[in-house]
Structure 1
Amino acid sequence: MELSWLNWLYTAVAWVITQIHSFYSTVLDPNSGLTWALTIISLTICMRILIFPLFLKQMRSSRKMQELAPKVQEIRKRHKNDKQRMNQEVMALYQGAGANPLGGCLPVVAQFPIFISMFTVLRAIAADQAKFGMSQELVDSAKHASIFGAYLPETFWGAPEVSQKIVIGCFVAVSSLTTFLTVRQSVTRSMAQMPDNPMAQQQKILMYISPLFAFFSLNFPLGLIMYWVTTNLWTLGQQHWFYSRHPMPQFDDKGNAIPVEPKPGLIAKLRKSDTSEESAPQAPPEPKIIRQQPQRQSRSKRTGSKKS
C-alpha cells in the first residue's frame, strides 16, 4: 500500500537510484542487469553507511547491558518475588549506566522507511509508471533488466517462466540463510555473555523462526530481495568487525567488568609479523673455514738443484 505522505521519501530514493544508475551507465550498458544490480547494491551500502552511527550506538548500549549482567542478576535474586520492584531497579540501573534496552531496534527502524520506499519504487516500475521523478526511459530500462533471466520488478508468483521462478527462489533461499546467520551471530554472542538470561529460550526460538520470515519475500520484487540480501551480508561483516574489536567482557568475583584486549585485525596481524621478524635477533654468521693449502715450491727446491 502506497502512503502518500511518504511521497517525498519515495522521490528521494528514486533520485538516488537515478544518480547511481547514471554513474554506472558511463562505463556499462545502462539496460543490463549488471548495471541495475550494482545500482541496488550501491544504494544499500550508502544507506548502511548513513545509519552506521546508529549501529555503533546499538552495540555500545548492548555492551553496557552485558557488563551490567551480574548486577542485574543480583537484583533479580533479591526481588524475585516482586517483579514490579525488580523491573524498576533494573531500568534504573540501565539508565544510570546509559544503557538502552531498546537500542537494538534503532537500525531496524531506520531501515524500514528505505525498505518501503524501495518496494514502492519497484512496484511503480513493474506497473510501467514514471513516478517519483523517474523518467519513462529509466522505468523501461529497469523493467527489462534481467538477472540470470529474471527481471527486477518480477515476483516469484508473478514470474511467467519456471526458470525465472527458480532464479527468484534461489535469491529467496540466500535471503533466508543470511537472515538466519545474522540473527544467530547476535544471539550466540548474547547467550555466551549471559548464559542465565531468562530470555535465552525466546532468543533461540527467534533464531530458528527468523529464516521463515524471509519466505514472505516470495511476494517481493527481485530487486527488493537483492537489497535485503546485501543488507544481511553487510550486517554479518559489520557485527563480526565489532565483536572482534570488542571481545566479551570478563568479570571478577565482585561482578565488576575486567578490561579485555581486543583481537588484532588482519592488518594488525600482518604488521605484528613484520615487526617480529625485524626485531628477532639475527643468527651470528657461520665461521669461515679456511683450508691450509700446501705452498707450491719452486722447481729448484723440488729437485734439489742450485741456481747457477
Structure 2
Amino acid sequence: MRRFFNLLFVLALLAVAAAAATGWWWIHHPLRLRAASLDLAIEPGTLPRGVAQAVRDAGVDVDPRLLYAWFRLSGEGPRIKAGSYELERGITPERLLDKLARGEESLRAVTVVEGWNFRQMRAALAKADQLRPDTAKLTDAELMTLLGRPGVHPEGRFFPDTYTYSRGSSDVKVYQRALRAMDKRLAQAWAVRSPQSILKNPDEALILASIVEKETGKAADRTLIAAVFQNRLKVGMPLQTDPTVIYGLGERFDGNLRKVDLQTDGPYNTYLRAGLPPTPIALPGKDSLLAAVQPAPGKFLYFVARGDGSSHFSGSLDEHNQAVNRYQRKR
C-alpha cells in the first residue's frame, strides 16, 4: 500500500511539474494575432476579466479565461491601466501584461509648426491620425469659448510643438495643451523682458513675436528684427512688414503680394497704419517670443534680405537704399 501511495505522490509531482512547465512555456510563447498589428482599447474601470475579453475581441487568438487566470496568478491584474495600446506579432502573455500594467500606450503625434497660422493648425489637427475631431464643426469663436477664452482671437494663442496623444483622444485636449503651453511660454518671456522694451503688455509681445517669426529667415537675426520693429514703434514709424498685409488678405492671398495690396487700407496693413496690428499673425515659437521682449541693442530701422536667408540691417534710409541696391537689385 505504501508503494502505491508513493507512486501516486510521484505522479502528482510529475503532473504539477508538467503543468508548471506548460504554464511557463505558454507565458513566454508568442500569442497568435489575426493581423501584424492590432489596436487594443481598455476603457477606464475595466476589470481584469473584461481586459482579457477585450484582448480576445481585439483579434488575439487566446482563451480569455486562460488570460484572466494569468492576470490573477501574476498579482499584476489590478495594476492594468486604461488606455490605447498597439499589439504586434511576437508579443507574449508576459510582455502583454507588462505593457498593460506599465501603461505603455500606443501614442500618436501631431506637429504644429512655428510660423503657421491658426487656420493651418486647425487643418493639421483635423487630419491627425486617430485624433477625434470634436471641434470640426465649431467656428473659431465657438472653439475659443469651449476652451474658456470667449471673445479672444485664436491667432497666436497656441504654442507650436509636437503633441502626443492616445488613439481616439479628443482634439479638444490638444488645443487645451497648446493653449496652456503658450500661456506659460509667454509669461516666461514677459518676466525676462528688457527694461528698454517699448511693449506695454504680454499681448503686444505676442503680436510682435508673431511678426518676428514670419520675418526671420535666419535664427541669429531674430533679436535684430525685433529691434527694428521696436525702434520703429518708438519713433512712430509704420512697421511696413509684408507678412501682416498677407495675413490680412487671408485666403485671398495667392502667393503674390501686389502693389495694390500694399495700398489698400485694412487693420493689418502696417504700411498705412502705425503701431502693431490688432492680433498676432502666426504661432510664434519660444525663440521669437524671447526676441520680441529682448531685442538686440542698436538703432536699426531697416533690414533687407541678402538672399542667403540672412538680412542686412541699417540705421538710416541712405544705408538701407545702398543695401537694397546691393542685395536686391545687384547694383
TM over 0.5: no
Q: What TM-score does the superposition give when structure 2 sets the normalisation length?
A: 0.19
| Structure ranking higher on relative contact order (CA contacts 8 Å, 6+ apart) | 1
**Who wins on radius of gyration, i.e. which is larger?**
1
Higher strand share: 2
